[in-house]
Amino acid sequence: MHIPDGFLDAKTLITTAVVSAGAVGYGIKRANEKLGERQVPLMGVTAAFIFAAQMLNFPVAGGTSGHFLGAVLAAVLLGPWAACLIMAVVLVVQCLGFADGGLTALGANVFNMGVVGGILCYYIFVVLKKALPRTRSSFLSAVAVTSWFSVILASAVCAIELAVSGTSPLGVVLPAMVGVHALIGIGEAIITTVVVAVVLSTRPALVGSYDLPIIPHPAGGETQ
Amino acid sequence: MRHSYLDSFSNLDSPIHRLEARAKIILFFALVVVCVTTPAKAYPAFAGYLLVLLVLLFLSRLPLKHVFKRALVVVPFVLMVAAFIPFLKTGVIGGGYNLGGMTISQSGLLVLWNVVVKSSVGVLSMILLSSTTPFDGLLKGFERLKVPHIFTTIAAFMYRYSFVLVDEAMRMKQARDSRNFKGRWIWDAKVIGHMIGNLFMRSYERGERVYLAMLARGYDGRSRTLEGERISTADVFFVITVMTLVVLVRILGSRGMFL
């Protein structure tokens, strides 16, 4: 989903770059205000974590594989703006270091995975969490649904950007991208939910968006 | 464990390696932007950009195999666009090709060419930049170009810890594979979820320890370094020369007066 250079036209590049720059700029402002420099090492390590986790490919079906996106995970743990900032750092480093994702398409890539995958999906998650009963399992269900949806939404936005730029026809690229990513999204949902469950059972206070009373598990192990 | 990393070969010595980081950032960023904004039909201009990049590549003495392997990153996306080209029916104005019942319009081919050549120039530029500049030099360059401090600091932490975390991830992967994990279907993703959950806890706790250790050593949010290298006249001259050449290539190439 890392769009290279030359796939998008000027209007798409500029629009997405402006929105992404605004979101990342606001994220930087919030990070500076809220916790000062204290949060910086934590965000750096989280970025390194997402970077490392993206290297563990998981099988989709018959030879193809997908990898973890991590935007919803970062948002559930650290909040939407920090998640967008972290995704932006990861994408910039991937672009410069691995040439994965084009330099001029950076705005679009941050938009798809940071703004849509992180910020927008966080608010979808909040709405979903409010709609469901206040239990641990419905919290995890909201995480699962949102992370599945985040992959689909990000791929749909990517397809729309390609179509608007005249690179691929919308009628074909949208169903193809969404179809493949509906499958990859299942992997994302399983991984994100399991990670959140693991963190909830070991150090629940780290899950920033978890607002239920924390009851220590008697065995200290993982609750199923 | 070994991993091919972000800035491999950045410790070589060549005229390109010796350029100041800021000069290289400006040079390669400008090259990509000029290339992406060139109309697809200006064929000679693209030949000119590739020629400039090849000369820079030759000067940098990077192993070609490394550059080529890294450049393969764009292939999946190009293939995807290529697969959809036959469906791109806008403006079939003659001159199309007929391949086994599928017609490919000339405008479709132009889209494919546009995507292939621009992404190649983009990828080559980024590989040249990152393979000739050590990562911390690159970050320092960005900082001097007024990129927000918090952004470069997060990136610096990320770079430093990515080695530790990737090692940790690879060790877990090895342990998992030696226990006969044959992940083939999507529900096997649960195993990876547990691994990643574990990885997160370990990295978070490491982050906390590191932060406390840094506080104990007087960290106040800034990493101080000695006054770094200054951009030399030779660097400025080099960047201006190459950029003038690239802009000339673009102007002449777009008019079809090149060569």
Let me know whether B44 and B139 are in one domain: yes
- B22-44 tens-digit pLDDT: 899 999 999 999 999 888 888 88
Please indicate, yes or no, if residue B66 is contained in any of the structural domains. yes
- Residue ranges of A 10-49 with Cβ closer than 8 A to chain B: 10, 13, 24-25, 28, 31-32, 36-38, 40-49
Q: State whether B128 and B24 are in the same domain.
A: yes
Strands, E, within chain B: which ranges?
A: 97-99, 102-104
Show the domains of chain A with their CATH numbers.
10-206 (1.10.1760.20)
Using CA atoms, how far residue A113 sits from A218, B113, B223, in Å, is 38, 27, 30
Quick check: A194 and B193 CB within 8 A? Answer: yes
Q: State how far the alpha carbon of B139 is from the alpha carbons of B124, B145, B156, B241, in Å.
A: 20, 10, 7, 25
Query: Does residue B70 sit within a domain?
Result: yes
Please give the residue of chain B at the shortest CA–CA distance from A194: B193
Using CA coordinates, name the residue in chain B closest to A166: B111
pLDDT score of B93 more than 50: no
Q: Residues A19-61: pLDDT tens digits?
A: 999 999 998 888 777 655 566 777 887 888 888 777 666 655 5
User: Which residues in chain B have their CB less than 8 angstroms from residue A5's CB?
Assistant: 32, 35-36, 118-119, 121-123
Q: Does A86 touch chain B (CB under 8 A)?
A: yes
Instruction: Give the tokens for residue B25.
Output: 């950032």
Contact A44 B157 (CB under 8 A): yes
Task: Kindly state whether residues B112 and B163 are assigned to the same domain.
Answer: no
| Torsional class of A220: left (φ above 0), alpha (ψ -120 to 50), beta (otherwise) | left
* Rounded Cα distance, A18 and B51, in Å: 32
Interchain proximity B201–A198, CB inside 8 Å: yes
Q: Specify whether B50 is located in the same domain as B137.
A: yes
**Is B10 a member of any domain?**
no
Same domain, B109 and B202: no
Residue of A224, A208, A203, A207 lying closest to A216 (CA atoms): A203
Residue B203 covered by a domain: yes
Would B224 be classed as within a structural domain?
A: no
Confidence band for B4, pLDDT divided at 50, 70 and 90: low
Contact A52 B162 (CB under 8 A): yes
Gap between the Cα atoms of A38 and A22, Å rounded: 23
Are A199 and A77 a contacting pair, CB within 8 Å? yes
Q: What distance lies between CA A70 and its chain's CA centroid?
A: 4
- Tell me if residue A58 falls in helix, strand or coil: strand
> B103 and B124: one domain?
yes
Q: How long is chain B?
A: 259
Residues B250 and B175 in one domain: no
Determine how β-strand A64-66 pairs with β-strand A58-61. Answer: antiparallel
Query: Of the candidates B5, B36, B151, which has its C-beta nearest A104's C-beta?
Result: B36
Residue A123, pLDDT above cutoff 90: yes
User: B66 and B160: one domain?
Assistant: no
Q: What's the rounded mean pLDDT across residues A106-122? A: 94
The complex's ipTM works out to 0.82
Note down the domain range covering B22: 15-143+230-255
Spatial CB neighbours of B208, under 8 Å, sequence gap ≥ 6: A42
Q: Are residues B172 and B246 in the same domain?
A: no
B187 and B131 assigned to the same domain: no
Residue type, B9: F
Q: What is the pLDDT of residues B195-227, one digit of tens each?
A: 888 888 887 787 778 778 888 988 766 666 665
Classify residue B225: in a domain, yes or no.
Answer: no
Classify residue B5: in a domain, yes or no: no
Contact present, A87 and A118 (Cβ < 8 Å): yes
- Rounded to an integer, what distance in angstroms lies between the CA atom of residue A175 and that of residue A178? 5
* B4, part of any domain: no
Of all residues in chain A, the percent with pLDDT exceeding 90 is: 39
How many domains is chain B partitioned into structurally? 2
B75/B200 same-domain check: no
- Around A123, how many Cα atoms within 13 Å sit in the side-chain half-sphere? 7
Q: Are A26 and A118 within 8 A, CB to CB?
A: no
Reply yes or no on whether the pLDDT at A224 is more than 50: no
